[in-house]
Amino acid sequence: VTKDIWYCNQFQFKVSMFTNSDEAVINKKLPKELLLRIFSFLDVVTLCRCAQVSRSWNVLALDGSNWQRIDLFDFQRDIEVENCRMTDITDISVSFFLSLSLFRTFSQNCRNIEVLNLNGCTKITDSTCNSLSKFCPKLKHLDLASCTSITNLSLKALSEGCPLLEQLNISWCDQVTKDGIQALVRSCPGLKCLFLKGCTQLEDEALKHIGAHCPELVTLNLQTCSQITDEGLITICRGCHRLQSLCVSGCGNITDAILHALGQNCPRLRILEVARCSQLTDVGFTTLARNCHELEKMDLEECVQITDGTLIQLSIHCPRLQVLSLSHCELITDDGIRHLGSGPCAHDRLEVIELDNCPLITDASLEHLKSCHSLDRIELYDCQQITRAGIKRLRTHLPNIKVHAYFAPVTPPPSVGGSRQRFCRCCVLL
């Protein structure tokens, strides 16, 4: 469609040079509704070019239906927006170039904005959020990830002017503390998705405010928030019964108490990421599996205490499991994989299994996975008992599977006759 419109653009431009009217052939042959539909597939740059062809195309190109969502990530300079017809925009993505003055113009002219992506905009400050608070009361989704100048003042401003906020990403905004979270959640009770990855100052007190004021919460990401403990997360579980996705990877203080709380309060849980949470054991995962039957994705990397017992419980009680990471779970054996491969999730659901650095895994595990017809990828780095022959046999049953494995190079035999060896081990590896 873009190619066709380019040809139309060129043709119309040439016609307008000579006729200076809107009676070109394309306008006579195609109804305005069809041209408007074609314009709906064009990017911002092409739309602006089309708007310069003729009066009729200007009206069609700047129609509000074409400007409900714009992506400005490819622009590397400030854009003049003061005279644009932007009242119908509901979705904007911009890049790091955005200046404060330009953003004020955006917010004043885009008062119907509902989705705004400012991820990585390094010039974003608390003043930006003040502008949003004043001019964008309909805002629902806001991405401020890696906007490192953001402080609690931004969250307080959003709480005052954007009460409809449903999704907020302030990952890596490491100046945010419990005070900002408290102000936000008290005034935005409809929050469903909250991404706080890398907000290293957050403690249990912040989680208690979330648990008390966000009953609609579905997704919560607390990756590397290393100060949180069982106390704060248990409050989340008790107050957010609709929780479907929880990431606490890198939160090394948590214990099985969290898994018990999830099992007792969050039966809709679908995604659980607890990588590097080394205090979790089979006891906690047993409670979780027996109560959260909708689990689809689990990241258990470096949960070093779990054994085949966890896999047995997952195979029995979690028939929807699709993605499972067990990398660096060094106590897992072929017997655990055997139970997983014979469980209800194996035949139609299981798509990815990661077994990097599981030293007890052998080719027998690959035999147990042959019946997993949906298996798309398996990770086997540094599984020293896995062989090429075992992988080859697996591929005869699952020809489309992606197998990621590493085999250490064989040391070249010593040179004969005293001649110098031609290649070192590194060259053999390459």
Distances (CA, A) of 419 to 34, 409, 413, 414: 78, 22, 12, 10
CA–centroid distance for 196 within its chain: 13
Check residue 96 and give its pLDDT.
45
Burial class of residue 126, CB neighbours in 10 A (0-12, 13-18, 19+): middle
Q: Where are the beta strands (DSSP E) in 206-333?
A: 219-221, 245-247, 271-273, 297-299, 323-325
CA-closest candidate to residue 73, choices 50, 97, 90, 89: 97
Q: Does an H or E element contain 55, and which?
A: helix 55-61
pLDDT in tens, the chain (430 residues): 555 555 555 544 444 443 444 567 777 778 888 888 888 888 878 888 888 888 888 888 877 677 666 565 555 444 443 334 445 566 666 654 456 676 777 778 778 889 998 888 888 899 999 999 999 999 999 999 999 999 999 999 999 999 999 999 999 999 999 999 999 999 999 999 999 999 999 999 999 999 999 999 999 999 999 999 999 999 999 999 999 999 999 999 999 999 999 999 999 999 999 999 999 999 999 999 999 999 999 999 999 999 999 999 999 999 999 999 999 999 999 999 999 999 999 888 999 999 999 999 999 999 999 999 999 999 999 999 999 999 999 999 999 999 999 876 655 555 544 444 444 544 444 3
Check residue 5 and give its pLDDT.
54
CA–centroid distance for 430 within its chain: 34
Distance of alpha carbon 165 from alpha carbon 193, whole angstroms: 10
CA-closest candidate to residue 301, choices 322, 332, 263, 270: 332
On whether the CB atoms of residues 224 and 197 are closer than 8 A, the answer is yes
Domain chopping of the chain, boundaries: 1-66, 68-254, 274-279+291-407
Distance of alpha carbon 62 from alpha carbon 84, whole angstroms: 8
Q: What are the helix and strand counts (H, E) for the chain?
A: 19, 14
End-to-end CA distance of the chain: 45
Backbone φ and ψ of 280, nearest 5°: -75, 145
Helix (H/G/I), strand (E/B), else coil: 142: strand
Q: Where are the beta strands (DSSP E) in 382-428?
A: 402-405
227, two tokens: 């100060």
Place of tokens 């969250």: 155
Which amino acid is residue 257, in one-letter code? A
Backbone φ and ψ of 323, nearest 5°: -130, 130
Rg (CA), the chain: 28
Which amino acid is residue 32, in one-letter code? K
Distances (CA, A) of 211 to 83, 189, 232: 44, 11, 8
**Torsion sign over Cα 416, 419, 420, 422:** negative
Q: Half-sphere exposure (CA, 13 Å, Cβ side) for 361?
A: 34
DSSP state for residue 65 in the 8-state scheme: G
On whether the CB atoms of residues 22 and 54 are closer than 8 A, the answer is yes
Q: What is the pTM of this model?
A: 0.80
On whether the CB atoms of residues 193 and 166 are closer than 8 A, the answer is yes
Task: For domain 68-254, give the CATH number.
Answer: 3.80.10.10
On whether the CB atoms of residues 193 and 167 are closer than 8 A, the answer is yes
Alpha helices per DSSP H over 119-164: 126-135, 152-161
Check residue 370 and give its pLDDT.
95
On whether the CB atoms of residues 292 and 269 are closer than 8 A, the answer is yes
Task: For domain 274-279+291-407, give the CATH number.
Answer: 3.80.10.10
Distances (CA, A) of 283 to 251, 258, 273: 19, 11, 17
Domains 68-254 and 274-279+291-407 in one fold: yes
Pairing type for strands 115-117 and 141-143 reads parallel
Helix (H/G/I), strand (E/B), else coil: 247: strand
On whether the CB atoms of residues 96 and 121 are closer than 8 A, the answer is yes
